[in-house]
Every structure is written in C-alpha cells, then in structure tokens.
Structure 1
Amino acid sequence: MAKIEVRNLTKVFGKRPKPALDMLKEQKSKDEILSKTGLTVGVNRATFDVHDGEVFVIMGLSGSGKSTLVRLLNRLIDPSDGQIQIDGDDLAKMNDTDLREVRRKKMSMVFQQFGLFPFRTILQNVEYGLEVQNIDKSDRREKAMKALSLVGLDGYEEQYPDQLSGGMQQRVGLARALANDPTILLMDEAFSALDPLIRKDMQDELLDLQASMKKTIVFITHDLDEALRIGDRIMIMKDGGVVQIGTPEEILINPADDYVRRFVEDVDRSKVYTAENIMTRPETVNVEKDGARVALQRMRDAGISSIYVVDRSRKLLGILHAADIAAAVKNEEREFSPYIQRDVPTCKLDTPMQDLFDLSSTSNVPIAVLGENDKLAGIVIRSKILSALSGKEVNVVE
C-alpha cells in the first residue's frame, strides 16, 4: 500500500519555468536547458511510490536532485509541476493551513545539521516543535520524554547540546522529530556529518527503532553502503531524474545502466546478498514413500554423491551419501532411514552471505537453506558463494 505517491514531480528554479518544462517534455537534458534558458532543473518528472512502513532511500551524487526532492515532499519547496499525494491528499494543491496540519500531524524532518538551540536543555529542544503547536506543557513533556527514551537518551534531559557528542546530538534531532509521533519521517543526509563508527551506530539505532515503530521513512544519502544497509528499496537519481528503483539485491544484480553499474562495482556483495539469493534447487527423497533404490537412482541420474531427505511437508531430516546407500542396496535393504546423516549445516533464507563462509569452509556437504517450519527451500554450494562475490549467478528476490 502506497503512503506517498509521486507523479511527474518537477522543480525548475527560476521565475518563469514554462520554457524549461516544455523542453523537459521534449526530452532535453538538464545542461541543454540551462544553456538555452538559464533555468536550472532540480527535479525532472520524478514518479515513484513509497510504501507504508518502509525505509525508502533516495540516493545520488551531489547535484542529482535528491535533497531538492525531499524538500518537495513536504513543500519546503513548491513544485513547478506534478503531484505529491500523502494518504490520497495532494500536497501540491493544499493551502497553507492544510499544509501546516500535514506537517504537524503526519510529517517530521531530520536534517544533516542538528539545528539544536544551544541555550535550551535537551528536553526543551525536543519539546520545541510541540511548544510551537501550543501543546499543553505536561503533555509535551510526556511526549518529549517518551521520544528521548526511544533514542536511548534517558537521563540526559537536563543536559545542554554542547555537553553531548555528535552522535548523541543527532539522537536529539531524531527524538525531536519523533516527539510529534509522525507517520512519515523525512531524513536528509541525517548521518553524513558523523564519524564512521558513530554513523554505523546511528544506522543500527534507526533499524532498531523502525522494527518497533513501523514509520514510513524517506532517507536521503549519497553513500551506497548506507543505502544498501538500511533501505527496503532504493531510488537512484541523476541530473534530477529517476534512474532506477529497486531492492538492494535488484540494484546490485541488475543495474539499469552504466551510471548505476559504476555506483555498485565496488560494493562488498557479501554484506548484501543472502542465502536466498544464491541457493539452488536440491535433489531430495521423501522418507515416507521412497526407498534405498529410489535414493540411489536419483543420485545417479543427477550425478551427485549425496541427496537430502525430507518428509511429506518438506521438513529437512538430513542427508544420504551414495556410498552408504549403495552398500544398503547391495545388501538388499529397502529402508534408508538408518543411514541418514542428521548433522547437516543449515541457515535461514535471510542469512547474509558473509555468514556462510565459515559454514561452507568447514563442511563437506552443501548448506541447507530452511524456510518456515524448517522446510527445505534450497541449498548453497561453495562455488555459488564464489560466483556471487563476482556478481554472477545470483537470484533476484521478488
């Protein structure tokens, strides 16, 4: 379900944007429009949806239009053309009164610069937006204290901004945005000014908060690693236009063009791909209906030396080896149950690929990938891990 719907959203900076808008319809480039009209295209007919409760990351290089776009979403900047619908209401057509209500009740924004008042306590800083709305003092204190608790700043209420580290100050900024309990959180390069370790901590904090809050978050960044780490979906922009939208896996596996391909070429894929992306279909036998001869024949037909054992519900029971079953068949045994090896290495569908290295290196059989109720969903073989690292032979998860 779409929380935010954007259609052909365009921003041209200049007093008379119509010539530039006409040229955009003729597929003219940003540079050509600037050269011929002196007008700057900030956003070029962007169309996308943001789903309710997802972290939607917008990324691109400097000048790509990402920060302009996020300011269009709450109309800090007015669009030149297009639609912005929040829960079905078009922000582009709202009057100032209705727009203020949306900003107060549905949206909050966290900026790169913390923007804290140095002579106000942390609690007073978090209360500020509620104070502007004339919320009762006791109510705004309760809301502010709850927001500070959410971001792990209990006990710092009476401190001042200069007494806190950069990461803690950004937590205050996040608490201030959360105090109003918005359904939509806009974050513009919110962690860019932080040191790398603190930045990673804040990313973890955001993911932990999102697991419980289920907000709709639009997150702006120029850092692909950050986008891949926190984004449910990513939108890549260039020259004000949308180049590609997809999950982290889709962006890595199927880059839309050379621009995106250059973005992702140096990414550590082992941190993004999961077992589901690299698993293959396993050969199996059913313990409840197949016998030793069937198991041996399937291994011969597939050219494999082992086969996985499941029950009727496809729950994994173990693995059989060809040498053991061949001996059983020679001895005219029909059942293979006594020969099932139970200690099979396993992982879940969402296990990151980097966690599979140790499992693979210490096992002489493929890793079994388990879905719900321990059903066998696939297997991961060592060569697939190596192929995936080079960007080959990867399954896109729809």
Structure 2
Amino acid sequence: MPSLQSVISCLSDYDPTALPVAQANRIIGEVVEPVRGVEQLAIRSALDRVLAEDIVSPIDVPAHDNSAMDGYAFSGAALQATQTGEIELEVIGTAYAGAASDSRPGASQAVRIMTGAVMPAGCDTVVPQEFVEVLADGARIRFASDAVRVGDNRRLRGEDLARGQAALSAGRILQPADLGLLASLGVAEVRVRRRLRVAFFSTGDELRSIGEPLDAGCVYDSNRYTLHGMLRRLNVDLIDMGVVRDDPAALEEAFRTACETADAVITSGGVSVGEADYTKQIMARLGDVTFWKIAMRPGRPMAFGRIASNGHDALLFGLPGNPVAVMVTFYHFVRAALHRQMGASVPPLPLMRVRSAQAIRKKPGRTEYQRGVLAQVADGNWEVRVTGQQGSGVLRSMSEANCFIVLGHDQDSVKTGDLVEVMLFDGLV
C-alpha cells in the first residue's frame, strides 16, 4: 500500500498548515486499503456486513411467467378480436400458485388464476377478478375490453433477475432486502469481509470517566461516548481503552496496545497547538504520521497516518479534543476512511439546497459545518436555521440539530433567504 509521505510528495500545492477538506479526504482515500480477511456466514448473520464477492443469480427470478394478481388468464388476442367492446370467455379450470396448470385454453377460453401461479400455455394476459362479471352458470365470465391491455398483470420469467446476472456487488453493506433477495435465489451463505477492529481512547489529565468525582478544573469525558455511538453505527468491533493520562510512557503503551489489537486507532485530544509535544512525538515515532491544520471549522487540528508496533500496524486518526470537533472530523474524514477499510462501497451522502432562515457569517478559505435544524415552513418550502451558539465545545448544538449546514471552502457570508447546502443526519449519524 502507498505510504502517506509518498502520496503527499505528489501534491504540488500541499500545505499542512491550511489543508482544504477535499485534499485531506483525497490523501486519506489514497492511503487507506481494505482489510483482506474474509469469512463465510449464513445470511441470517450477514446483516450490515460487507459483501466480499459478487453474487450471481443461479436461477431465473421468477422461474416462470406468472400472474401478478388473482384473476383470469387468457390470450390477449381476444382483446383485438372483439367487435362489441365486451369480452365473454369460458372458464375451463383453475391455476394455483406452486403447481403447474395443465389447462390449455383456446381463443375464447380463460383459466381462473391465483397470484404467483404459472401462466397456462397460450395465455399472456390476466384480467383482475374485480373487473370481471361471473355469469349465472359460473362457467363463463364477461368484462369490458378496455379493462386490460395485452400483457397486463403478467410477470415475465427472469424479469427480476436472469440466470447469470449480477444480483449484488462486492462492497455492498447487506441490508434486510438483500437478505430476502439472497434467499429468493436459494443462497444460504455468503462470503463477507471480516469485521473491522477499531480501538479508541481519550487523552488528557483533566478528563474523568462517568462515576468518578469531578475535581476542580476537570470535565467528564464525553468523546468516548460519542465515538462509541458513531462506531456502533458502522458495525465494527470496538476496543474502548478509556482515558489515557498525559504521560509519555502511558501514551506509548496505549498506542502500542491499540496498534497490536486493532485495524484502526482513533484518539481525541493531544493534536492541537499548545498541547503536550510528546503526544505528537510518540505518534510520529511509531509510524508514518502527519499533522494537519485543516481549513475547516470546527475541527482544525488533526493527525493522520499509520503506526506500527511489534509487527502489527494500524491506521491512526488523531482527532481534536473539543466534543463537536470530534464528531465533525469523524463524520467528514474518519467515517469514509473506515468504510473504505471495511471494503464497503458507500457513495457520499447527497447535499440538499434549501433556504437559510437567517444570515450566517463566513470567511472564504475554509469549509464550515454549522449545526442546523431543517424544517418545512408555511409556504411549503424547506428552511434551515442554526442551532444557536456554534462553538466547538457546545455539544448541545449537535444534539439539537438534524443536519449540517455545509458552507464551502470559497463561500462567503450568507444572507437571509439565500440557498445553502445541507447534509441530513438521517443516514449519517
């Protein structure tokens, strides 16, 4: 796999003190490679796992032309032959789902048919039973010739999937509908990428875990809980290493332990200007790591690279210490990188353009992720407003929001009523 430094050396405009968001994501994308481990699972156990190989349909689905509803099957030629606007047919039998019909209706005959039943020979059209008048003798039916067209209500053999057609592609994160699709093909087991292992810890002497007394100048560690929740959404194996104090020996031991047990390591704190130099020194000493000041708000400081210990290596994401900055950098850098490391093909989430309910101050030269509330207003349009104070330590701004207001790198201030881009939390968080 390419080294971080080799990727960076190919960039003519690389500036680690003012790195645009897009360039940081490009660098990360070129360094990260999928894990190689694969395992075979029963489809009931494969939900949210990453498919390791294409699934090719071994059969036609459906296996035969069949009826899409309860009604009467007949030859559509009868619709073209009528002169009166009405069709009257003799009913010569019934076709049930799960059994082939031996009825062979003629030009003026029909077969009573149930949903999913194989179409009888010579039949290509089904008239729904609610459009049909059953005549007194029960052996004949009548319906208007314009009630159906030729071919209506017939499902063709292989119209869902044809034998040999790709049903699911490698890299797909399997969803409930996919499990049903696999079952419809008779596929009992699938090969999936092994589950990613992610270790995470917080750094700082001021941090306390829940349940510990909160001394003067100390705060409860919220970052591990948000990281735990965000990682759970990705269906990875979690290694929570707690809070690591600002001590060189303790930090190095934590980094080595994490590296030797996980595929990726995520830390919060210790990468900002003014924080303990030995944190950065340990990160750099253990591998190919660079430290960035990303042109974004919140979440400017970040470390990224690969660390190694005792023959093991892992990706490293050193995130800022402020709670909102941790979440923003995770969603806009780490999430996509972990998907790639999992072997998952996940397209970027779409951005919506909606009206801003207020003016927003913004300087060109950085990307901003304001926390917003998107709602439909009286005129039927969608409008977004910020969730009050936007400081990187105000975690309530994330809790109250349902979207990011994404203000691009070159964008200036926003006026009330201007269109802005938003990224919904639905599907992200």
TM bracket (short chain): under 0.3
* Higher gyration radius (CA): 2
Q: TM-score, normalised by structure 1?
A: 0.23
Greater strand proportion: 2
| Structure with higher helix content | 1
